[in-house]
Amino acid sequence: MYEGKSILELHELLISKKVTPLDLAKDAIELAKKDNCNAFEYIMEKEAIEIASTLGEVEVGNPLWGIPFVIKDNMSTKDVPTTGSSNILNGYIPVYDAAVVERLKNAKAVPIGKATLDELAMGGTGTSGHLGITHNPWDKSHSRLVGGSSCGSAAATAAGIVPFSLASDTGDSTRKPASYAGLVGFKPTWSRISRYGLFPFAPSLDTIGVFTRNVSDAAIVTEVLSGRDDRDSTSSTKDVDHYFNKIKEKCSKRRIAVVKEVVEAVKDKDVRDAFDKTLDGLKSKGFVINEVSMSVELLSSLFPTYFVLSCAEATSNNANMDGIKFGPLSNGSTFEEVVTEARTKGFSELIKRRFVIGSFALMKENQKELFVRAQKNRRRIVEAVNNILKDNDFVYLPAAPSIAPKFTDASDRLSDEYLIADNHLVLGNFAGLPSITLPIGFKDGMPFGANLMGRAFEETELFQVSYELEQVTGLANIYAEGGEK
Amino acid sequence: MEFEPVIGLEIHVELKTKSKMFSAAPVAYGKEPNTLCAPLDMAFPGTLPTVNKEGVVYAIRVSNALHMSIDNELHFDRKNYFYSDLPKGFQITQQRRPIGSEGYLEIEIDGKVKRIGIERLHIEEDTCKQLHFPAFTLLNYNRAGVPLVEIVSKPELRSGEEAMKYVEKIRSIVVFSGVSDGKMEEGSLRVDTNVSIRPKGSDVFGTKVEVKNINSINYVQKAIDFEIARQAKIIEEGGKVVQETRRFDDKKNETVPMRLKTDAVDYKYYPETNITPIKLSDEFIENAIKSCPELAESKKKRYIEEHGLNDYDASLLVSEKEVSDYYDEATKHSKAYKLLANWINVDVASYLNKNIMSISDFPMSPEKLAGLVKLVESNEVNSNQAREIFAKMLEEGVDAKKAKEILGISSQISDLSFIQDAVNKVLEENPQAIIDYKEGKGRALGFLVGQIMKKTQGKINPKITSDLLLEELKKR
């Protein structure tokens, strides 16, 4: 009944008492139960109804009051199973809430479920979680992926089940699926939002992410999530601005860079045309578009650099799963046997492959040639990005080279299209910059998006320019109707 | 052949901070297992480390005491390996930039001062405590995450004795600076040694053997001396020392093999990205140093130079922090430093010894002991009486005056005119004794003192009496 409504629309309904938080929670749970995209690890029916029932008088000015949302299952939720979509965490029930979950609960938003992901957030397809493939709700034939790793959060939000969801972003795990699912997908400046309770994949790159169906909603949620948390010593002490209140103010920063080599790597004509059209729209709004250049050599190194660094960090961050505290019970008689059995059974082949690669890169004899070299290259990349942002306020690019691929599509992993057009969003992770994807067009009934990246801690400006871009595209509040079929 | 031993020590010191190095769980010894742990200590996914400031302060204090240069930025790394006592599958440590580097320590060997170089001091976290049974192992996470500093010496020690003195000195520093209990038996100070020998004069290192599990200071010397002799014997018999890890068996008094040390484990160190480098301001470092309680060396110097104690007494007082604290407290109530030191080093020490007790459990407060010393100092009681009073004070838990009263000891009379009168009277009554004294008959003096004591019922101060008597005899 309330399917596809935005946070602000629901807030209005709550204020006018046309609906209660309990109605919204029940409705979202109904929709979640009918979900056929494999978006959910766990539906928090009991918990959601309990929370929604305790909410009394509506809080005007707190737009998250009573709003249902979904949590990616790599975030710790107290007393609620949290698996990271990995068999190694089957049956794990955390004793504490992640900082972002706590903040949303404090704002009286109502969590209704835990969403599927690529196993332990490693992957970009939404196909590697222990519950199997997650489908794209826009594609009724279920032959297209929704992208990952935040596949369940993306699917649930794109199907209109909830107006927003929590995701995470290490390479592009929020912003790529946003492109495939017609969503607004946002990642903040690294350190802006506490990672306490987010299962670590690669902490130097990891951030919390947010899916919404319009830019204003993203600003609302981000504002609540942001701010210092003493439990995450890397979290910033900088004040949090009023992202939402300022969103309609005309952005004072109006220089937008477009990286020529990335755009050229996009071969899909429809995507290119739609992107060019938005450029015209932005120009007509008074933005200055500057075509800038990055070396193809450097851009082609994004993926290998990312892979080495993220796998290296991942292998260490998941070493806690040794079959003693987490993982399947083993009959092993020595520690070596227990840990080997637990990790062999508990992780999928894809994950083990990453761990082996990560370990290999950190080995004494390889570390200089692989890990340290990747670290150095990361610095070169960051330098190149910061150089662009010296004379420009934003970088604007197609978020992905195409609409969501079919499961059967194979990409040429050595093509520019893959290495550059499909992987450039990681620039935001390398440099720790805020970055947002929003829909700009459709092809074959499937949405696709573009991405804006701003300077560190310039979230306010990023939301403002995104809001203007949303006016240009007119693609706010779209969702895949009938996702519950 | 004459051999030169080459010994290096790695000492792990558990810091007695209020909470753990990277979590808010409290630090305490001997509590119910698995009751002192935060989610981080059990490596719950998503938990993050936050640096314990107190731990950093403590590390700075020790680094400073060891004359090390102190890094003004804190960097942490991960040491990656799988082990049942390692909750996270990695240990947070400082590989690239230890907080302290390039320092030294001075020890005294046969009256000569020898400087031992110290390579590094770094902060890390402790592992779980394991309890092994034949069919299973129990894990206690109370110890997981307890702050440690590891102090790595240069291979500049040359004998078991030097090593023992080095460990004693480190122990004294960490205990006096208030950063650790320094108890080897409880594992709050752990010593690992690397021992090798080489022909005297050679500058090539021999094959290194690691000796672990040494849990008392005495064993440090025993283990190393045994190991030196063992290796020398092997070489003299034409054999080769095997690179291995041994442990000290305190029943057999010898080192026994633990495991062969093949290629060193690759710990795949890399930076801990959950803790961004932390700038340490000059002010922070200075405060850490300034807030450090007085170390043994400085106390000893003060006792000798300002209190006039001799080296022996001063050394005894600083052999245990609690003893020197007791003395310091007592000096707030009495300035009779030598007497105080003597009482603490002799009478108190023998009482503690007899009762197998440490001074922290000694029932007499420093103030009460100072009260007793005052009675002695003012000559109100003689030393035998003082010992009786001391025993009574311990028996009844009372102060010195009260104990004296219970014992019915009346004060010695030190009133000079009263004593002078008695001296004069006795001399007048015994002219022959004066003559005897002048003629050099030694017995005369004793006779006169006896007569004076008799006259005064022994209540006068004997020292003053004999002084006055001698003076009076000179005049006559």
Contacts of A319 in chain B (CB under 8 A): 80, 82, 88-90
Cα–Cα distance between A62 and B260 in angstroms, integer?
65
Torsion over CA: A225, A230, A233, A238 (sign): positive
Non-local (6+) Cβ contacts of A299 within 8 A are: A259, A261, A262, A265, A419, A420, A424
The helix/strand/coil state of A445 is: coil
Closest chain A residue to the Cα of B269, Cα to Cα: A362
pLDDT at A483 over 70: no
Tell how far CA B324 is from the center of its chain.
Answer: 9
Contacts of B273 in chain A (CB under 8 A): 202-204, 313
What fold characterizes domain B416-475? Arc Repressor Mutant, subunit A (1.10.10)
Closest chain B residue to the Cα of A120, Cα to Cα: B45
Beta bridge partners of B9: B193
Whether residues B87 and A199 touch (CB distance < 8 A) is answered with: no
Q: What is the DSSP letter of A128?
A: -
Å between B135 CA and nearest CA of chain A: 8
Residue A133 burial (10 A CB sphere; 0-12, 13-18, 19+): middle
pLDDT at A318 over 90: yes
Determine how many CB atoms are found less than 10 A away from the CB of residue A383.
11
Q: How many residues does chain A have?
A: 485
Q: Is A72 a known active-site residue?
A: yes
For the segment B105-126, the average pLDDT, to the nearest whole number, is: 96
Contacts of B48 in chain A (CB under 8 A): 195-196, 231-234
Q: Could you tell me where the DSSP H helices lie in A131-236?
A: 151-158, 175-181, 215-225
> What is the token pair recorded at A431?
């440099």
Half-sphere exposure (Cβ direction) of B35: Cα atoms closer than 13 Å: 6
pLDDT at A484 over 70: no
Cα–Cα distance between B90 and A37 in angstroms, integer?
38
Give the torsion through C-alpha atoms of A183, A184, A188, A193, to 10 deg.
Answer: -70
Whether residues A316 and B82 touch (CB distance < 8 A) is answered with: no
Averaged pLDDT score across all residues of chain A: 96
Q: Is A339 on the interface with B (CB under 8 A)?
A: yes
Cα–Cα distance between B86 and A320 in angstroms, integer?
8
In angstroms, the Cα distances linking B256 to A179, B213, B227, B377 are 65, 11, 10, 56
A-B contacts at Cβ under 8 angstroms: 95
Whether residues A84 and B80 touch (CB distance < 8 A) is answered with: no
Which among A84, A324, A359 has CB closest to B268? A359
User: What type of residue sits at position A340?
Assistant: T
Non-local (6+) Cβ contacts of A376 within 8 A are: none
pLDDT at B152 over 50: yes
Express each pLDDT in A230-243 by its tens digit.
999 999 999 999 99
Express each pLDDT in A262-309 by its tens digit.
999 999 999 999 999 999 999 999 999 999 999 999 999 999 999 999
Q: What is the DSSP letter of A481?
A: T
Q: Which of A173, A235, A236, A330 is the catalytic position?
A: A173
Give yes or no for a contact between B82 and B43, defined as CB atoms under 8 angstroms apart. no
Query: Roughly what angle, to the nearest 10 degrees, separates helices A302-317 and A349-362?
Result: 100
Whether residues B276 and A324 touch (CB distance < 8 A) is answered with: no
pLDDT at A422 over 70: yes
The helix/strand/coil state of A50 is: helix
Determine how many CB atoms are found less than 10 A away from the CB of residue A306.
24
For the segment B177-188, the average pLDDT, to the nearest whole number, is: 94
Q: What is the pLDDT of residue B431?
A: 86
| Interface test with chain A among B34, B132, B273, B278, by most A beta carbons within 10 Å | B273
Averaged pLDDT score across all residues of chain B: 93
Whether residues A233 and B274 touch (CB distance < 8 A) is answered with: yes
Contacts of B268 in chain A (CB under 8 A): 316, 359, 362-364, 367
In angstroms, the Cα distances linking A438 to A68, A185, B412 are 22, 7, 100
Whether residues B90 and A96 touch (CB distance < 8 A) is answered with: no
* pLDDT band, very low/low/confident/very high, at A185 (cuts 50, 70, 90): very high
The ipTM of this complex is 0.94
Residue A296 burial (10 A CB sphere; 0-12, 13-18, 19+): middle
Torsion over CA: B433, B437, B440, B444 (sign): positive
The helix/strand/coil state of A422 is: coil
Closest chain A residue to the Cα of B52, Cα to Cα: A233
Which among B44, B88, B90 has CB closest to A95? B44
My answer on whether omega of the bond before B466 falls inside 30° of 0, hence cis, is no
pLDDT at B114 over 90: yes
User: What type of residue sits at position A441?
Assistant: G
Name the residue ranges covered by the structural domains of chain B.
3-279, 294-406, 416-475
Q: What is the pLDDT of residue A331?
A: 80
Q: What is the pLDDT of residue B421?
A: 85
Express each pLDDT in B204-229 by its tens digit.
889 999 998 798 999 999 999 999 99
Cα–Cα distance between B103 and B153 in angstroms, integer?
9
Residue A331 burial (10 A CB sphere; 0-12, 13-18, 19+): exposed
Determine how many CB atoms are found less than 10 A away from the CB of residue B476.
10
Ramachandran region, residue B334 (left: φ > 0; alpha: ψ -120 to 50; beta: rest): beta
Å between B80 CA and nearest CA of chain A: 7
The helix/strand/coil state of A211 is: strand
* pLDDT band, very low/low/confident/very high, at A473 (cuts 50, 70, 90): very high
Q: Is A376 a known active-site residue?
A: no
Express each pLDDT in A111-160 by its tens digit.
999 999 999 999 999 999 999 999 999 999 999 999 999 999 999 999 99
Q: Which of A26, A72, A114, A187 is the catalytic position?
A: A72
Give yes or no for a contact between B314 and B304, defined as CB atoms under 8 angstroms apart. yes
Express each pLDDT in B377-410 by its tens digit.
888 888 888 999 999 999 999 999 999 888 888 7
Q: What is the pLDDT of residue A485?
A: 33
* pLDDT band, very low/low/confident/very high, at B161 (cuts 50, 70, 90): very high
Q: Is A466 a known active-site residue?
A: no
User: What type of residue sits at position A55?
Assistant: L
Q: What is the pLDDT of residue B262?
A: 62
Q: Is A408 on the interface with B (CB under 8 A)?
A: no
Q: Which of A6, A85, A128, A149 is the catalytic position?
A: A149
